[in-house]
Homo-oligomer: A and B are copies of this chain.
Amino acid sequence: MSKTMSEINLRVNLGGIELSNPVTTCSGTYGFGAEYAAYVDPSELGGIVVKGVTREIRPGNPMPRLAETPSGMLNSIGLQNPGIDAFIADYLPQIRALETKVLVNISGNNEEDYAFVARRLSEAGGIAGIEVNISCPNVKCGGIQFGTDPVMAAQVTRAVRDNTQLPVIVKLSPNVTDITAVARAVVEAGADAVSLINTLLGMAIDIQRVRPVLANVMGGLSGPAIKPVAVRMVWQVAQAVPVPVLGMGGILTAEDAIEFMLAGATAVGLGTANFVNPAAPREVVQGIAAYCQARGIDDVNKLIGAAWK
């Protein structure tokens, strides 16, 4: 029996966060939620994840910070952000007003930083959850080291877990030999969900200047180029841990998003896609519904992991 679009359940539960549909936007690619509101109303999205916030203000890396690559891009923003105090004072009020679930992505130099930011956010209130970035390749200390070592990843997770009642989603780095080991470690340490993948560590060289294109030398590779790696890791992690997976990495269309859900993602994140097509998040929501309808599927949850279940 084929269903009309409105009869299809698109709601998913991402580690305690009820999303009206499985489509979210990725940290660092969607600003603080208002930048893209002219293109897609935030209320049409399952949720948004705002730019990474740290304890102290961060100026970010020198320019150039971006380079285009085949079907992808490199960035080395370097976690530029106003710091948690200014974030709470200047940005959180607007963010609270958005009619969607908002997750705040946090980073730090050490466990105390993560714990501090998590506590401040919980006290401030008004957000749906915390995404813990243990995988930013663009900062010297903190970030990626935590993400490549299961033990350190677990410590950071526990530090956040102990300082908030909010759902905690830990964002994993793809730059590891075995992502399932890190996933298992953070889940044991209390993560309610995991998100993956962050960017692949890459670089480009300007052959005219005979120097790296990015001032920071290396940067994070995102976009469709990395999709096969992301799908593979979602497939592996979703089968390895009992918590939901927020899948991302190169999703541009509804077909891409469905691929991630069939691989085991409960929800998906659109990052670089926003730059390419600001209407993409809406199109992906609609496309997922249309796919379900065409196949007589009444609940989007039935897609999750269907390629291996």
Instruction: Give A254-281 as 1s and 0s: 1 = Cβ < 8 Å from B's Cβ atoms.
Output: 0100110011000000000000000000
The 8 Å CB contact of A259, one of B207, B228, B259, is: B207
Contact (Cβ within 8 A) B177 A307 = no
Most B-side CB within 10 Å, residue of A69, A71, A225:
A225
Stoichiometry, copies per complex: 2
Contact (Cβ within 8 A) B231 A204 = yes
The 8 Å CB contact of A306, one of B201, B210, B259, is: B210
Interface majority SS on A: helix, strand, loop or mixed? mixed
Contact (Cβ within 8 A) A204 B70 = no
Interface status of A28 (Cβ within 8 A of chain B): no
Task: Please give, as numbers and ranges, the residues of chain B lying within 8 Å of A291 by CB-CB distance.
Answer: 207
Query: Known contacts A70-B224, A71-B70, A71-B224; is A229 also within 8 Å of B200 by CB?
Result: yes
Tell me the complex Cα distance, A226–B227, Å. Answer: 11
Tell me the complex Cα distance, A263–B229, Å. Answer: 24
Give A178 Cβ to nearest chain B Cβ, in Å.
Answer: 8
Q: Which residue of B lies closest to A173 (CB)?
A: B177
Tell me the complex Cα distance, A204–B255, Å. Answer: 11
Give A234 Cβ to nearest chain B Cβ, in Å.
Answer: 9
Tell me the complex Cα distance, A252–B259, Å. Answer: 28
| 7 sample A-B contacts, Cβ–Cβ < 8 Å, listed by A number | A71-B71, A72-B228, A200-B228, A201-B229, A201-B232, A204-B231, A207-B262
